[in-house]
Amino acid sequence: MTPFKYFLAKNTSDASFLFENHPRASFIAGGTNLIDLMKENVSRPDTLIDINKIPGIDQIETLNNGGLRLGALVKNADTAYNEIVRQKYPLLSDAILAGASAQLRNMATNGGNILQRTRCYYFYDTAVPCNKREPGSGCSAVGGYNRIHAILGASENCIAVFPSDMCVALAALGASVNIHGSQNERTIDFMNFHRLPGDTPHLDNNLQSGELITSIDLPPESFNAHYSYLKLRDRTSYAFALVSVATALKIEGGLIKDARLALGGLAHKPWRNTLAEDFLKEKDPIAANFAEAADIILEEAKGYEHNAFKINLAKRAIIRNGLTAANLKKI
């Protein structure tokens, strides 16, 4: 690990000030991903700015519009087990609990979860080319062993996938991300937060240098009657998704009135396709309709040497999870 300097930020403006004076710094909260990357020399910040003691961004609070604000510093476990989240946004709770281990969820924060980096093994291996780690060096996954890699939205420069479960639910729920910068505060819609790799795979998201996530807002519509998170992986716990699906439905009079389908493990960001969601509106929640929605989403899918199985797996996951969400009896 490269030695670094350490500062404890007192508040958000102090964090911004410290960053301005140490432009090669990283902010650290839970650190579960960053420290691992530092041990592997993938990340080499010369300074860490510890944001754990910043007041005011470590709570979950109800918003005036009926939504919910999740502080960036709230731990993943505290979010998943929060009574309001469990009752009102069970999809989010289930997705968080499908990820990582109990220990990691006790450490990892909501802001950090959004900012976690791909687990592509070539990204982690500093001995091989990787455009995300070293722009312009090439992609070892294209033409390499790419079983865990993307089938949607990839580019010739990068076929890495974004590993978060929590973010798949946040995408489905239509969350937004509140950001503090040294000049201004701003909010980004969740689907505009993460990026596709394109020609700039080193950029995971649209957060600018020095900006800090302060909270995540959930809209009032919570889909707590018909929802399901399905995660398919190589072992049944404590592994990243090969394919995951967050399905949220609004059903009235037996017909789907609103549908959200977000996919994980398939792309450089949580994947949504509004054409497929619109297709489901006013339809019966039956397998044939979920299959057609899956076909709309996967029409543009492209398999590589070792991951083409994900296309079929994703389709079956979308159908199964749609039926699970539709037939859910609890509220």
Partner 1 sequence: MEINENDVSSRMEEHSISIKINGKQITLKTQPWVSLLDLLRERLNLTGTKKGCDHGQCGACTVLIDGKRINSCLTFAIMYDQASVTTIEGLADEQLHPLQQAFIDHDALQCGYCTPGQICSAAGLLMEGNAHNREDVKELMSGNLCRCGAYTNIVDAIMVVKEGKNDSF
Q: Which stretch binds partner 1 (CB under 8 A): 3-11, 135-143, 173-181, 322-330?
A: 3-11
Q: Smaller CB distance to partner 1: residue 46 or 156?
A: 46
1: contact with partner 1 by CB under 8 A: yes
Q: Which one of residues 13, 20, 39, 286 is an interface residue with partner 1 (CB under 8 A)?
A: 39
CA distance 118 to 197: 12
Beta carbon of residue 127, minimum distance to partner 1 (angstroms, whole number): 17
- Residue 187: Cβ within 10 Å count: 11
100: contact with partner 1 by CB under 8 A: yes
Cα distances (angstroms) measured from residue 38 to each of 1, 2, 204: 6, 7, 17
Q: Smaller CB distance to partner 1: residue 94 or 277?
A: 94
CA distance 239 to 100: 7
Q: Which stretch binds partner 1 (CB under 8 A): 45-53, 169-177, 200-208, 269-277?
A: 45-53
Q: Which strands form 185-189's sheet, in the order they lie side by side?
A: 60-62, 68-71, 212-218, 176-180, 185-189
17: contact with partner 1 by CB under 8 A: no
43: contact with partner 1 by CB under 8 A: no
Q: How far apart are the first and last CA of the chain?
A: 48
Beta carbon of residue 241, minimum distance to partner 1 (angstroms, whole number): 15
106: contact with partner 1 by CB under 8 A: yes
Q: Could you tell me if 48 and 28 are in contact, meaning their C-beta atoms sit under 8 angstroms apart?
A: yes
4: contact with partner 1 by CB under 8 A: yes
The count of chain residues that interact with partner 1, using the rule CB under 8 A, is 27
* Three-state SS at 19: helix
35: contact with partner 1 by CB under 8 A: yes
Q: Could you tell me if 256 and 284 are in contact, meaning their C-beta atoms sit under 8 angstroms apart?
A: yes
281: contact with partner 1 by CB under 8 A: no
186: contact with partner 1 by CB under 8 A: no
3: contact with partner 1 by CB under 8 A: yes
Q: Smaller CB distance to partner 1: residue 3 or 136?
A: 3
Residues contacting 73, CB < 8 A, separation 6+: 29, 51, 52, 54, 57, 58, 109, 110, 111
Cα distances (angstroms) measured from residue 184 to each of 161, 178, 181, 210, 211: 31, 11, 5, 12, 9
Q: Smaller CB distance to partner 1: residue 107 or 328?
A: 107
Residues contacting 264, CB < 8 A, separation 6+: 161, 162, 163, 164, 165, 167, 168, 231, 241, 243, 244, 245, 246, 270, 271
In angstroms, what is the C-alpha Rg of the chain? 20
Q: Smaller CB distance to partner 1: residue 8 or 311?
A: 8
Strands (E), 253-326: 255-264, 271-272
101: contact with partner 1 by CB under 8 A: yes
Touching partner 1, residues 211-240 (CB under 8 A): 237-238
Beta carbon of residue 97, minimum distance to partner 1 (angstroms, whole number): 8
Q: Which residues contact partner 1 by CB under 8 A? A: 1, 3-6, 28, 30-32, 35-36, 38-39, 48, 50, 52, 77, 81, 100-104, 106-107, 237-238
